[in-house]
Chains A and B, each alone.
Chain A
């Protein structure tokens, strides 16, 4: 684990390994340990693909105390995660894959040399790890998408993609929780609300979750509350 400053009230911890579900699990274990050790001192703990950035309130917690706790925990947590101290949730999201709901489906098929059906099959038969939340409230970066479906970002991002859009870029996939600009290739739409301020937590997906997609029909999409 490497440590660097994230401003005067933040510390960035970077895992030595490449992103993987195990790296995410050990960062979550570290976050949870630190949160329970300093319930008042930490204001925000945010996970990246292979980083954990913790922000602290210097009136409650000194940088030295926090760094001391981090170095005490470092090294012990990979073992902890292997002992399944942290167990991830599994979430299955219904997706209506179609040209009508995912306008890049045929482009992706063409680029990858697969049929549209094979693209859907490949995308929906993989279990993805939720690596990070960001870009927009409730937007979760999921990976990894099959190598065959690796797509560059759009040259010019779209000004607006509909809420629920399921998209891919590089080897990542995600669902856009709300109407927002988007530079990823669209494959379909999920009818479920991904972000709801009335819920705790407000996002349907949390970092560390295992997410998979289940193809549904247009009728099912509509009956589950999806809007065209």
Chain B
């Protein structure tokens, strides 16, 4: 069997691709890499298509053993990476020979790093995606997070290839950098959903204070701690949630809904954070200071389209490195 054996796990490592599309109406959440751009970068370095599944590794690392020769790349939160004890750079394609131990250490900045493998992790597809949603028990390996002893099959390998030393280097500074811990992270959002139904003081409290990212942040939501936000709304009829929604539960502490969110919610939602800032929030560490900032549709579209163009430019540059054998 060609693939990777899981030797040691940390906080959370899961199989992720770009998520499930089209099943929200069945109560099935999208899931997918919290920082999709970093996963795409890692895939492109290897010549993989964007939707190919890799591993998302949260904060504390992961140790794997290769059962065959393979090629991999690590992007995202900056973490130490070593192959058989020898330290390697992130953001480059690496050749790994059968029997090698791959150790991803603790992230130094950011939270989620992404390991792509040439050909991709080929755990079964569920409703068009290999993304793991642990809460739903769907995707990945039996719907669960990785644990020691698990085996991850890899397909699309070129078995005749022999391991070589890394030949391609990529400049880390070209990647989207995680926010520095002492910066205040701006969370720009497009007001909407219940925004027009809440009392004026609610909109003021939301944008006039600095919140702190809670330690309870996970793949479902990033809770923010601050002065309680009173929406003035009591009972609402349950309705669909959005990726990046700012949801206000009765305690007034906002929750920013992320990839593994429940598809339906009964609390007010005041708007949706633009994708770029949502990913930065996902990569931020507990204790990080954040501010919410409302944007007009025109301004939000401009920022988002510009950023998408920026991402595409970088991915194209990575394509020139990936895809061909050295």
The minimal Cβ–Cβ distance linking A47 to chain B, given in whole angstroms, is 7
Given A133-B27, A197-B127: A4 touches B193 (CB 8 Å cut-off): yes
Instruction: Judge if A216 is at the interface, Cβ distance under 8 Å.
Output: no
Instruction: Judge if B239 is at the interface, Cβ distance under 8 Å.
Output: yes
Asked if A202 and B192 make an inter-chain contact with CB atoms under 8 angstroms apart, the answer reads no
Asked if B27 and A5 make an inter-chain contact with CB atoms under 8 angstroms apart, the answer reads no
Q: How far is the CA of A177 from the CA of B157 in the complex (A)?
A: 39
Instruction: Judge if A152 is at the interface, Cβ distance under 8 Å.
Output: no
Q: How far is the CA of A152 from the CA of B237 in the complex (A)?
A: 15
Instruction: Judge if A141 is at the interface, Cβ distance under 8 Å.
Output: yes
Q: How far is the CA of A5 from the CA of B300 in the complex (A)?
A: 12
Asked if B237 and A50 make an inter-chain contact with CB atoms under 8 angstroms apart, the answer reads yes
Q: Which residues of B contact A (CB under 8 A)?
A: 21-28, 126-127, 135-138, 190-193, 195-196, 237-240, 242-245, 262-265, 271-272, 274-275, 297, 300-301, 304
> Within 8 Å CB of B244, what residues of A?
7
Asked if A12 and B192 make an inter-chain contact with CB atoms under 8 angstroms apart, the answer reads yes
Asked if B136 and A134 make an inter-chain contact with CB atoms under 8 angstroms apart, the answer reads no
Of A5, A48, A136, the residue contacting B191 (CB under 8 A) is A5
Tell me the count of chain A residues lying within 8 A, CB to CB, of chain B. Answer: 36
> Within 8 Å CB of B24, what residues of A?
44, 46, 55
Q: How far is the CA of A218 from the CA of B161 in the complex (A)?
A: 61
> Within 8 Å CB of A203, what residues of B?
26-27
> Within 8 Å CB of A7, what residues of B?
190, 192, 242-245, 271-272
Q: How far is the CA of A210 from the CA of B189 in the complex (A)?
A: 38
Asked if B192 and A48 make an inter-chain contact with CB atoms under 8 angstroms apart, the answer reads no
Given A5-B191, A6-B193, A49-B237: A135 touches B26 (CB 8 Å cut-off): no
> Within 8 Å CB of B138, what residues of A?
137, 197
Asked if A133 and B237 make an inter-chain contact with CB atoms under 8 angstroms apart, the answer reads no
The residue on A at minimum CB distance from B263 is A134
Q: How far is the CA of A5 from the CA of B189 in the complex (A)?
A: 11
> Within 8 Å CB of B28, what residues of A?
137, 202
